[in-house]
Amino acid sequence: MNKTRGLGFWILISIGILLSIMFLFGQTLSLFNYDLTVSLGLQESVEEVGEIGVAWAKGFAFGDTVLYLPLLLIGIIGLLKRKKWGVYSMFGSLAITVYWPIVSLFSIFAGKNNINLNPDKFISYSIILPLIAIYGLWGMWFLYRNRTDCSKIG
């Protein structure tokens, strides 16, 4: 069995680690100090999205903290340890990685007349969110394609 891990594996893991860090600071931190995450540019202010938008952001932050982030971290650790449970956990987190950017992007455009985001955010979200969803789709495809050769994925 080939014990080397290819570039695809390291791309999957590296972006997963980056997303984990992003979610720790942007989502988990917002549960404890929302204003700090706004000041860091990781959440939208009440002036931008209104009270209901902040409530939804906090709801997603809670869900991400208790489900998505643990799945992602378990997936990363499991893949690094070459464990089958890492493959399953990472696949689940990648499914969420496809889902949340699509929901967020659609919500931004559906509510564009009701939220007060500056144009730079509309542009950056239009680029970043699809790229994250593509990473999730690619990651699921990568795991599925390599499922019989665990030396590449786990």
Distance CA 77, CA 57 (A): 28
The C-alpha angle with vertex 89 and arms to 87 and 93, in degrees rounded to 5, equals 115
- pTM for the whole thing? 0.88
Does 82 reside within a domain?
A: yes
Residues 73-106 pLDDT 10s: 999 999 999 999 999 999 999 999 999 999 999 9
Is 52 within a domain?
A: yes
Could you tell me how many helices (H) and strands (E) the chain has, helices first? 8, 0
Q: Residue 2: inside a domain, yes or no?
A: no
Residue 17 forms part of a structural domain? yes
Instruction: Kindly tell me if the per-residue pLDDT of 29 is higher than 50.
Output: yes
Question: Cα–Cα distance between 4 and 9 in angstroms, integer?
Answer: 10
Average pLDDT value for residue range 19-44: 95
Reference 72, options 27, 13, 143, 32; nearest CA is 13
List the domain range (segments joined by +) for residue 105.
7-153
pLDDT score at 16: 98
Task: Measure the CA–CA gap between 17 and 19, rounded to whole angstroms.
Answer: 5
Task: Specify the pLDDT at position 7.
Answer: 93
Count of structural domains within the chain: 1
